Amino acid sequence: MTTCFGDGVIQDIDLAATEGPLPKFRIATPTGASFTVARGEYGYEMEALTPIDAEIFEVPPGSEDEFVATARDADAVYAKGRRITKRMIDGIERCKIIALGSVGVDSVDVDAATEKGIPVTNCPDTFIDEVADHAMTLILASFRRLIVQDKLVRDGRWAEGRPMLSKIPRLMGLTLGLVSFGHVARAVAARAKPFGLHIIAYDPFIEELVMIGHGVEPVSLPELLQRSDIISMHAPATESANRLLREEHFRQMKKTALYISTGRGPTTDEAALIKALDEGWIAGAGLDVLEQEPPGGNNPLLRMNNVILTAHVASASARFDPARRRRVGLELSLVLGGKWPMSCVNPSVLAKTDLRRWQPVSMERGPNS
C-alpha cells in the first residue's frame, strides 16, 4: 500500500510495521492518473488535510471487490482515475465524503452515494474562465475557418483564402445559442457580447430572469436550434442530458450553423453529428469532447476538414491543477472536520448527516453549474 503523509510525498508502507499512532483520518484514492496526478505527490491536497491529521493512501488497480478490501475502513474517497461504482460505494463502511477534482461527476454513482447518505463534491467554479476561453476560441476559429485557412497557405493555395471567407457573413449581428446556462455558458456570453453577437439560451433548470439578467434571451430548444448561427453545448453529463442533441435536432439547424461542444461528449449523439456534417445539414463543428476519448482511428470526425478537434483540454492551464487539487483537499477537510462541504452535488444528504452548516448554500452550485 502507498500512503501520502503531511509532506505530500507518496511512500510505500507496511501498516503492520508502522510505529506510532495512525492518522486520525484516512482517505482512499485509486492509483492512476487524474490529469497530472499519478503516484507522485499530494502536496496541494495536504495543505488542508495535514492540520486535521489526515493521510491519503492509494488503492492499486484491481476489481471492485479488491478496491473495497483495501478501502473498506477509509474515512473518505478521493475519486480519480477510475469509476466509483455502487458495489464499491456499498462496500466502504466508514466513508463520509466522495470528492472529485472535476466539474463532471459522471465517474461516480451519485445515486448510490445518496442512498448511503454520502455527500459527493465537485469543483464547479475553479476553472470556468479556462473553459469559456476555449469555447470562444473554437467559436472564432470555426467561424473564420482558421484551420482550413492555415492549410491553404501551407499548401501554396494563397489565392483561395479570400474567396472562401467572402461567402461567410461577418460575425457581428449573428445569433449564438447556448444549450444550458451554467457558469461556463454565462462566461461565454460575457466574452461573446463584445463581438456583437445576439445571445439566446435554453436551460429548463434556470429561471428566465437569470438569463435576462445576463443580457441573454431565454428560448425553447426548438427555437434555439432554428435561430442560432452558432450553437454551443454546455450541458452536464447527467441522465437527462445524455444525447440531448440527436438527429432530429441537427435537422432543425441552419445549413450554415456551427456546432461547438466543450462540456461532455455524451451530451451529443456523435453518430448524428457526423451524419449532419457529412450530409451538409450544418456547416462545421468545433469539439473539445467526444463520446469516446481518445477517439478510435476510424472516427470520421478525424478526416473532416470542417471540424476542429482538441483533446478535452478546455480546462487546462497552469492554474488548473493546483486550484482543483486544493479545492479537493478543502472539501475533504471540511467534511472530515464535521462541516458541510462547499459544493455538494447531492445536497439532500446533508440535512441527514451530523455535519454542521457553516455557510449559506448557493442554489447555483451542483451538477448543472
Query: What's the pLDDT score for residue 21?
Result: 75
Strand ordering across the sheet containing 198-202: 217-218, 198-202, 175-179, 230-233, 258-261, 284-287, 307-309
**Environment class of residue 364 by beta-carbon count within 10 Å: exposed (0-12), middle (13-18) or buried (19+)?**
middle
pLDDT digits (tens, 9 = 90+) for 61-85: 999 999 999 999 999 999 998 999 9
- CA dist., res. 188 & res. 181, Å (int): 10
- β-pairing, 284-287 with 258-261? parallel
Q: Which fold has domain 2-126+318-352?
A: Rossmann fold (3.40.50)
DSSP 251-270: TTS-TT-EEEE-S-GGGB-H
pLDDT digits (tens, 9 = 90+) for 227-265: 999 999 999 888 889 999 999 999 999 999 999 999 999
- Average of per-residue pLDDT values in the chain: 91
Q: Which residue has the cell 452536464?
A: 236
Residues of the chain with CATH 3.40.50.720: 2-126+318-352, 128-309
Catalytic residue among 64, 208, 312, 364, which?
312
Catalytic residue among 248, 293, 356, 357, which?
293
Q: Which residue has the cell 461565454?
A: 188
Would you place residue 1 in the very low, low, confident or very high pLDDT band (cuts 50, 70, 90)?
low
Which one is predicted more confidently, 249 or 37?
249
Peptide bond into 294 cis (omega under 30): yes
Query: What's the pLDDT score for residue 19?
Result: 57
CB atoms within 10 A of CB 58: 22
**pLDDT surpassing 60 at residue 314:** yes
pLDDT (mean) for 92-104: 94
Would you place residue 4 in the very low, low, confident or very high pLDDT band (cuts 50, 70, 90)?
low
pLDDT (mean) for 295-300: 95
Query: What's the pLDDT score for residue 358?
Result: 85
Catalytic residue among 145, 264, 324, 326, which?
264
Q: Which residue has the cell 474562465?
A: 129
The structure's pTM equals 0.86
pLDDT digits (tens, 9 = 90+) for 173-203: 999 999 999 999 999 999 999 999 999 999 9
Hey, what's the cell of 228? Answer: 442560432
* Region 128-309: CATH code: 3.40.50.720
Would you place residue 359 in the very low, low, confident or very high pLDDT band (cuts 50, 70, 90)?
confident
Is residue 94 among the annotated active site residues?
no
Is residue 170 among the annotated active site residues?
no
Hey, what's the cell of 257? Answer: 450553423
Is residue 264 among the annotated active site residues?
yes
Would you place residue 13 in the very low, low, confident or very high pLDDT band (cuts 50, 70, 90)?
very low
